[in-house]
Amino acid sequence: MGACSVAILSVVALMSSSSTKRKNGSSSQGGLKHYLTEHKQTAGESIDQLWIKPFGSLMTIFLIGLSLALPLALIVILESGDKLVSSWQGQSKISLFLKMDVSEQRGAALSQNLASHNGVRSLRYLSKQQSLEEFENNSGVAVPLELLEENPLPAVIVVEAGTAHPGDLERLRDELALLPEVEHTQLDLLWVKRLQAILQAGQYLAQALVLILALVVLFVVMNTMKLLIEHRRSEIEITLLVGGSHAYIRRPFLYLGLWYGLFGGLLAVTAVESLLWWIEGPVASISALYESNFYVQSMSLSLFFKALLFSSLLGVIAAWLEVSLHLRRALAK
Amino acid sequence: MIQFDNVTKSYAGGQTALQNVSFELARGELAFLIGHSGAGKSTLLRMIMPSEHPSSGKVIVSGHDLKELPNRKLPQYRRSLGVVFQDHQLLSDRSVFDNVALPLRVSGFNHRDMGRRVRAALDKVGLLGKERLMPDTLSAGERQRVGVARAVVNRPSVLLADEPTGNLDPELSGEIMDLFEQFSQMGACVLIASHDLALVARYKHRLLSLDHGRLLSSDFVSGSSDV
């Protein structure tokens, strides 16, 4: 929320810089009420400006919306993936395969001892017979014991660890592997790590996309502003000649930038939510087939507001840059 | 109030618009700036606005050396000026009221005072009742009067006018000139660029005569059409 506060303050500072610099003494009347009325009027007039060229405005809003929708969708999907990985990590289990010569009594006693271990949340002991039954149930294949001399499966203790951290899990596995009754341990974290790495790469990709497409939005809004400035060139010149400050000239354009950014952001959010709604069913079906609890989450409220704030800020910054460039060029003449 | 001190303005191509121009206008003084087309009248006015700066010399207005005036102080300075442009320079998508109110809006006036002052200015130029009309629906003379109303609405201490009666009939020209005289009597320094020598001759005011960028004379008109 710190970043949000800074962003809000930046927008407010950009918008209000004109009135704070007024020094017209007796003519600057009405104080805060007048200041607010002035801003309300400019904000209203700038909304009206959108309707002067509705097609152009819609095109700009569409471009902003679609540019922002892509990284936003990626962020939402990555957030869902991240939560899934976290939930898997929370269920991290270590399988301890006992030596074949470990008796049932010794195996059961070991599991009782391990239950009081600090790093163990819970455990389940599977005797050789139970291991065989579970294997047959899961695989659907009956083991022809009559052809074998004895049950080839070892007894297993399935330990649910009290930690989700991969490093801690590995340490616990190494410790349990040293037990004399244990033949082999299995902690299958590799694929979780791979998925996590993919998600992390995805996050970098999303950040890069945000940066690139933010630049696209900046240029789109700046170009729109350039056309609007050209359209209102004489108005700007006259306003400068009658004593309009740069901040006064800039203000309606900043509001326009704000509206472009805000409406573009709303379009992006709507597009992403529609996309999520559209893929929700198919993703749930695939997830069910893999017996996974993965589902595409809706956008969080915090991300929703961040997206709108970000797009609005982009619009304001683009407008500020373009008008400032124009005024600098006008002064240089 | 307005002081030109050896002002020369040359452009990159070597063209000289003003050459060693020096004069002073006091508070409450009204002067005409005359000369043929291209004599440098508009350049001289632009240096007071200031939308141009001299190549050499100084322009001092109300104590400000305009070349040294920082950009951040320019709006405040310009609010003390009233300018009537030859081509009106009205905003075609704004009503008469909004056009006249523009200098007040940028100065931060509240709506009540703005309305009062705009109506008073429009009354002075004979356009009261036409506040809601758009400039395109007005005659050239009416548009010029809107420009005059906008220039005087902020009660400026310096009033500049570039051919303010160019589109007006003689009667209305006289009324506008009377208005300028009233402003000078109220303490404003008024400088009017005009090539209407007949009109200029009707008033006993100082005459700044420019020819090819040089100030030929800075005298008072005798009161007849001998200029």
> Is the minimum CB–CB distance between B11 and chain A shorter than 8 Å?
no
Q: Which residue has the higher pLDDT, B96 or B164?
A: B96
Tokens standing for residue B107? 């100065």
What residues in B contact A250, CB-CB < 8 Å?
Answer: none
Q: Which residue has the higher pLDDT, A142 or B9?
A: B9
pTM for this model (two decimals): 0.72
pLDDT digits (tens, 9 = 90+) for B163-201: 888 767 777 788 888 888 888 888 889 999 988 787 788
ipTM of this predicted complex?
A: 0.85
Mutation site, A53, A242, A324, interface B, largest B CB count within 10 A: A242
**Domain spans, chain B:** 1-80+156-227, 88-155
A82-86, A304-308, B84-88, B92-96: the lowest-pLDDT one: A82-86
pLDDT digits (tens, 9 = 90+) for B30-72: 999 988 888 888 899 999 988 888 999 999 998 889 888 888 8
CATH numbers and ranges of domains, chain A: 8-18+31-88+193-332 (no CATH), 93-188 (3.30.70.3040)
Closest by Cα among B187, B176, B109 to A243: B109
What residues in A contact B98, CB-CB < 8 Å?
Answer: none
Residue from the list B76, B89, B108 with its beta carbon closest to the beta carbon of A238: B89
Residue from the list B51, B72, B106 with its beta carbon closest to the beta carbon of A242: B106
Decide if pLDDT at B226 tops 70.
Answer: no
* Residue type present at position B53: H
Quote the CA–CA distance of B108 and A30 in Å, as a whole number.
Answer: 9
Q: Is the dihedral of CA A194, A199, A200, A201 positive or negative?
A: positive
Quote the CA–CA distance of A8 and A310 in Å, as a whole number.
Answer: 10
Contact A29 B113 (CB under 8 A): yes
Coil, strand or helix at B64: strand
Split at pLDDT 50, 70, 90, the class of B124 is confident
Angle between helices A301-332 and A54-90 (to 10 degrees): 140
> Is the minimum CB–CB distance between B51 and chain A shorter than 8 Å?
yes
Distances (CA, A) of A35 to A20, A32, B2, B108: 9, 5, 34, 8
Closest by Cα among B195, B201, B160, B174 to B30: B160
Q: How far is A62 from chain B, CA to nearest CA, in Å?
A: 27
Residue from the list B89, B102, B108 with its beta carbon closest to the beta carbon of A28: B108
What residues in A contact B83, CB-CB < 8 Å?
Answer: 241-242
Coil, strand or helix at B38: coil
> What confidence score (pLDDT) does residue A281 get?
86
Q: Which CATH superfamily is domain B1-80+156-227 in?
A: P-loop containing nucleotide triphosphate hydrolases (3.40.50.300)
Percent of chain B with pLDDT over 70: 96
Low-confidence ranges of chain A (pLDDT < 70): 1-31, 85-91, 143-147, 164, 188-191, 291, 331-333
Quote the CA–CA distance of B37 and B213 in Å, as a whole number.
Answer: 11
Split at pLDDT 50, 70, 90, the class of B159 is very high
What residues in A contact B109, CB-CB < 8 Å?
Answer: 27, 29
Residue B53's H or E segment, with its range, is: none
Contact B76 A235 (CB under 8 A): no
pLDDT digits (tens, 9 = 90+) for A189-228: 666 777 778 888 888 888 898 899 899 989 999 998 998 8
> Is the minimum CB–CB distance between A329 and chain B shorter than 8 Å?
no
Phi, psi dihedrals of residue B193, rounded to the nearest 5°: -90, 125
B contact residues 163-202, partner A, Cβ 8 Å cutoff: none
Q: Is the dihedral of CA B121, B124, B130, B134 positive or negative?
A: negative
Quote the CA–CA distance of A161 and A303 in Å, as a whole number.
Answer: 33
Contact A239 B75 (CB under 8 A): no
User: B158 pairs with which residues across the strands?
Assistant: B81, B189
